Amino acid sequence: MNNNQNFYTVRGYEILGKQKEILSHSMEDYLEMIYRNSLAGGYVRINTLAESLNVQAPSATKMVQKLGKLGLLHYEKYGVVKLTPEGEKIGEFLLKRHEIIENFLKIIGVEEKLLVNVELIEHNVTKGALNKIKILNEFFKTHPDILKEFERFRASYGSYF
């Protein structure tokens, strides 16, 4: 009997996930950034969004239009971008997901290319795994003595690669 019946390539898992979700990785990045920028004033302008994501304004406009068609935001040409309640809910989750993973990577000592690692992981982590990472973050936060012990162990362990 073959025990590998439930294994797929990374692309296979991506295809399975896309059957359930409507947002691409880029759409998630835009929603997260719109949410971040909207926290202060409730909206964001296209130029600010484009600068925040290091893209050209026409690219940001195209994505905003796509997200608008999905009912996640409101946008008027040459106006401001405002999230709908659904867009806000998703944006809040995306920002929390980013923060949970970033905190975890900092706890385990990732310093080099921190943001790159966060971006690569956040789009592919399951909600179940994310929840476990959040629990581990909270565990280390409430048990600083154990975190210090882990840091000593990590320092003495050296580098595997």
Q: Quote the pLDDT of residue 90.
A: 95
Question: Lowest mean pLDDT: which of 8-17, 20-29, 122-131, 149-158?
Answer: 8-17
- Contact, 46 vs 32, CB < 8 A? no
**Least confident window among 21-25, 90-94, 107-111, 133-137:** 21-25
The model's pLDDT over 48-102, given as tens digits with 9 standing for 90+, comes to: 999 999 999 999 999 999 999 999 999 987 789 999 999 999 999 999 999 999 9
Going from N- to C-terminal start, the domains of the chain cover 11-89, 93-157
- How far is Cα 65 from Cα 72, in angstroms, rounded to an integer? 10
- The per-residue pLDDT for 5 is 58
Q: Evaluate if residue 156 carries a pLDDT over 50.
A: yes
Percentage of the chain lying above the pLDDT 70 cut: 87
93-157 fold: Diphtheria Toxin Repressor; domain 2 (1.10.60)
The model carries a pTM of 0.83
pLDDT reported for residue 80: 93
Angstrom distances, CA of residue 10 to CA of 13, 17, 89, 125: 5, 11, 28, 12
| H-state helical runs in the chain | 10-18, 25-41, 46-53, 57-69, 85-107, 114-122, 127-142, 144-157
Q: Which CATH number describes the domain made up of 11-89?
A: 1.10.10.10
Reference 72, options 34, 98, 21; nearest CA is 34
pLDDT at 105 over 60: yes
pLDDT at 46 over 60: yes
Rounded to 10 degrees, the C-alpha dihedral 118/97/85/51 comes to -20
Per-residue pLDDT tens digits for 14-32: 544 544 468 999 999 999 9
pLDDT at 75: 93
Residue 73 pairs in a beta bridge with 83
> Does the pLDDT value for residue 10 go beyond 80?
no
Which two tokens mark 71? 């009912």
Determine how many CB atoms are found less than 10 A away from the CB of residue 83.
Answer: 22
